[in-house]
């Protein structure tokens, strides 16, 4: 059993994601907390690319620890502090997601838990 993509055409007009993902009965679910681009030693890159690479690396590690991979992502919510960072962020996100197209929401201008965080990523994955 695999997650089923349901596209109605809206996502195709905006970006690389799916309009909806259907999860089969009996699937295991993984919900991540908001994940910033914070290194395990507590350091924080000053730019969006460095923070995005760390945050996506953490998401991939969480997936792997649950026996999952990016293809199992069903929903990702991206919180960026600055709209100007979208192009650089999308490049990193695209590299990590490859051909995976989870449902997606990107919000800019949100106040994050620490003022120096430029982004946080929240993800939901499911695997039958």
How does pLDDT run across 102-124, given as a tens digit for each residue? 999 999 986 888 989 999 999 99
Residues 6+ away with beta carbon under 8 Å from 37: 44, 45, 50, 51, 52, 53, 54, 55, 117, 118, 119
pLDDT value of position 2: 72
In the chain, what is the straight-line distance between the N-terminal and C-terminal CA atoms, in Å? 6
Higher pLDDT, 122 or 9: 122
pLDDT value of position 118: 97
Report the domain count for the chain: 1
Res 1 pLDDT > 70 = no
Nearest to 37 by CA among 3, 84, 71, 88: 88
Mean pLDDT (the chain) is: 92
pTM of this structure: 0.91
Contact 34, 121 (CB under 8 A): yes
> Domain holding 17: CATH number?
3.30.1330.40
pLDDT value of position 14: 81
- Residue 112 structural domain: 4-127
- pLDDT category at 61 given cuts 50, 70, 90 is very high
User: If you average pLDDT over residues 37-42, what whole number do you get?
Assistant: 94
């Amino acid at each position: 059993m695999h997650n089923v993509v349901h596209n109605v055409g809206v996502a195709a007009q905006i970006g690389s994601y799916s309009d909806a993902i259907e999860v089969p009965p009996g699937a295991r679910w993984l919900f991540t907390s908001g994940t910033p681009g914070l290194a395990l030693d507590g350091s924080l890159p000053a730019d969006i690319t460095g923070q995005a690479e760390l945050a996506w690396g953490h998401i991939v590690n969480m997936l792997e620890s649950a026996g999952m991979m990016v293809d199992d992502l069903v929903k990702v919510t991206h919180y960026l502090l600055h709209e100007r960072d979208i192009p650089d962020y999308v490049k990193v996100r695209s590299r990590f997601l490859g051909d995976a197209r989870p449902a997606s929401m990107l919000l800019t201008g949100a106040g994050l838990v620490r003022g120096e965080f430029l982004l946080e990523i929240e993800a939901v994955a499911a695997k039958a």
